[in-house]
């Protein structure tokens, strides 16, 4: 079992997941996973396909109910709260595969995202500034956009609601590496407005580049946890693939079956 992460500077975590176990029917997708995300962090979850990363994010967002465990947001227990309430409380998610509203235009997608927006720095105009190309193409149907452009709209849609914590699910999926880098390059501007980010990434090097904290999942268990500076590539590789590793100094340990 992963040791609970100590509070940095006595802060309370913005988002906390405790011993989360999630099933898909009879398949156990997550097994007693815990994590703590502190304000202003970029917390990255990595792992291979089927490791449970997206399930974790979806459960935090409320689209999936856990079998056991709890989710705390800003100290409040959110486990039984409906997804739309979580969204209006400040948990924003950019879902895997973008999931834009296909029959709506770019602008309409953003407008929908802003339907129940909280007060904050992000407006539709601000999003247009962040992604320079968007203003001219705002009346286009999203189905006509490229993958990278769609990803930008999806991020924009989540931003205009002014969330406090932003969940990013596999931004790199289906996109060329150049595009992925460009999108991740926006992250500092997003963080500068006071957001906290919890992201899921299959592209480990990309995750390592942006994360302030790291957790690796394998078949639903946590196999590694720590700061990128504190883990070696060998450790990450071992955690990712579930290989036995005799190197000392691992920050966390995986759970025994």
Whether residue 198 contacts residue 229, with contact meaning beta carbons closer than 8 Å, is answered with no
In angstroms, rounded to a whole number, what is the distance separating the alpha carbons of residues 48 and 173? 13
Comparing CB distances to other proteins, the nearer of 13 and 252 is 252
Is 251 a binder of other proteins (CB under 8 A)? no
> What binding mask, one character per residue, do residues 140-159 give for other proteins by CB under 8 A, x or -?
-----------------xx-
Q: Does 176 help bind other proteins (rule: CB under 8 A)?
A: no
Helix (H) or strand (E) holding 215: strand 213-218
Q: Which stretch binds other proteins (CB under 8 A): 2-10, 36-44, 199-207, 237-245?
A: 237-245
Single out the residue of 223, 225, 226, 231 in contact with other proteins (rule: CB under 8 A): 223
Contacts 24+ apart (CB under 8 A), 122-125: 122/159, 122/160, 122/161, 122/162, 122/193, 123/160, 124/156, 124/160
255 binds other proteins (CB under 8 A): yes
Phi and psi, residue 120, nearest 5°: 170, 180
Alpha-carbon distance 34 to 13, whole Å?
12
Binds other proteins by CB under 8 A, chosen from 1, 72, 81, 104: 104
Q: Is 88 helix (H, G, I), strand (E, B) or coil?
A: helix
Sheet holding 165-169, edge to edge: 91-94, 165-169, 196-201, 42-47, 213-218, 221-226
The reply to whether 161 sits near other proteins by the rule CB under 8 A is yes
Residue 83 touches other proteins, criterion: CB under 8 A = yes
d(CA 3, CA 238): 19
Other beta carbons within 10 Å of 126: 15
Q: Which is nearer to other proteins, 160 or 179 (CB)?
A: 160
Closest approach of other proteins to the CB of residue 7, in Å: 26
Residues 8-27 touching other proteins, rule: CB under 8 A, are: 23-27
Task: Check binding of 235 to other proteins (CB under 8 A).
Answer: yes
Least Å distance, CB 145 to other proteins, is 15
| Residues in binding contact with other proteins, number by CB under 8 A | 56
Encoded one letter per residue, x for contact with other proteins by CB under 8 A and - for no contact, window 33-72 reads: --------------------------x-xxxxx-------
CB 154 within 8 A of CB 94: yes
**Binding interface with other proteins (CB under 8 A):** 23-27, 29, 59, 61-65, 82-84, 87-88, 92-93, 95, 99-104, 108-109, 111-113, 115-116, 157-158, 161, 218-219, 221, 223-224, 235, 238-239, 242-247, 250, 253-257
């Amino acid at each position: 079992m992963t040791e609970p992460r100590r509070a940095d500077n006595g802060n309370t975590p913005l988002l906390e997941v405790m011993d989360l176990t999630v099933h898909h029917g009879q398949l156990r997708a997550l097994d007693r996973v815990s994590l703590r995300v502190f304000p202003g962090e970029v917390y990255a979850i990595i792992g291979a396909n089927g490791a449970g990363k997206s399930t974790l994010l979806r459960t935090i967002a409320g689209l999936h109910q856990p079998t056991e465990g709890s989710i705390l947001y800003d100290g409040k227990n959110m486990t039984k709260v409906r997804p739309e309430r979580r969204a209006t409380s400040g948990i924003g998610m950019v879902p895997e595969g973008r999931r834009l509203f296909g029959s709506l235009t770019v602008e309409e997608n953003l407008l929908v995202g802003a339907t129940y927006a909280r007060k904050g720095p992000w407006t539709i105009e601000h999003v247009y500034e962040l992604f320079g190309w968007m203003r001219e193409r705002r009346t286009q149907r999203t189905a006509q956009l490229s993958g990278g452009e769609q990803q930008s709209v999806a991020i924009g849609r989540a931003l205009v609601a002014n969330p406090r914590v932003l969940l990013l699910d596999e931004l790199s999926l289906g996109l060329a590496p150049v595009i992925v880098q460009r999108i991740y390059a926006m992250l500092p501007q997003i963080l500068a407005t006071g957001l906290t980010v919890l992201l899921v990434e299959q592209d480990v090097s990309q995750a390592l580049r942006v994360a302030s904290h790291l957790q690796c999942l394998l078949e639903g268990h946590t196999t590694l946890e720590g700061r990128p500076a504190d883990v070696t590539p060998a450790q990450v590789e071992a955690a990712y693939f579930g290989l036995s590793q005799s190197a000392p100094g691992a920050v966390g340990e995986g759970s025994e079956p």
